[in-house]
Amino acid sequence: MSPKTSARLNLQGSPGAPAPDLPPGQSPPREGGTGRSLRTASLAAGSGLLGVIVLSVFSIVVLGGLGTPGDVPRATQALAGSGDLFRWGVLSLFLVAVLDVIVAAALLELFRPVNRAVSTLAAWFRTAYAAVFLVAISQLVGALPLSGDTGQVAERIRAFDDIWHAGLILFGIHLMLIGYLTYRSAFAPRIIGILLVVAGLGYLTDSFGVVLIPDYPVSIAQFTFVGEAALMCWLLIKGRRVSVRTPGT
């Protein structure tokens, strides 16, 4: 069978599912079987996403709801009330940025067989977001020595919020690209791809809303994040069983 014909075959021979965009000579990914296993990439991405969620929730609690509408006064009070706890919250955000880079690399490895160009672009968007996020976190680090000056602290926290939401535009695009790759793959549920695109649109809407609308009052992303959670669960439970058939297997 020629590579071109093989690329047209559907996962496990099921009719009706479109073949993903594959490099010449490579067959669609499938669960089980022989070939190059994507177990490591799936577990790395899934574990990284789990860590991002846990650390993000911790930082939100510790930093007084930072990142939600009307959070500046609460975050200022959190720093004034417990500087040490605030430092732990900032450290957790730093670890989130590091995990974002790891997740970007793992998802690149996972979805490279689907479309190399799009998966690479998605990885760069998440990496760029992590870099912008680190710049935003530096504003919080700068606020630590100013705990006695609530006005300066509030300015630093507002700067963090503005920079972070601008960076979330990059993150939203990343999610939409990963959603496309998930939808086009022959091994992941299409519904997860759709939910990821919706999640990406939620981040884009919130980011542009914060930048363009004074006192933007809502957070759409807190309702559209389901796709991220679904992807994490799939990666940890099912994705580790995926392998890519290579020529000769």
pLDDT confidence of residue 216: 73
pTM for this one?
0.77
How high is the mean pLDDT of the chain? 78
161-202 residue pLDDT tens: 889 989 999 999 999 999 999 999 988 999 999 999 999 999
16-47 residue pLDDT tens: 444 445 544 344 554 444 455 788 999 999 99
Question: What one-letter code names the amino acid at 22?
Answer: L
Residue predicted with more confidence, 231 or 158: 231
Question: Which residues contact residue 6 at a Cβ distance below 8 angstroms, ignoring those fewer than 6 apart?
Answer: 27
Q: How confident is the model at residue 5 (pLDDT cuts 50, 70, 90)?
A: very low
pLDDT confidence of residue 4: 43
Closest CA to 43 of 232, 245, 244: 232
pLDDT confidence of residue 24: 43
112-170 residue pLDDT tens: 999 999 999 999 999 999 999 999 998 888 776 566 556 777 788 788 888 998 999 99
User: Does position 211 have pLDDT exceeding 50, yes or no?
Assistant: yes
Indicate the DSSP class of residue 36.
E
How far apart CA 214 and CA 190 sit, in angstroms, is 37
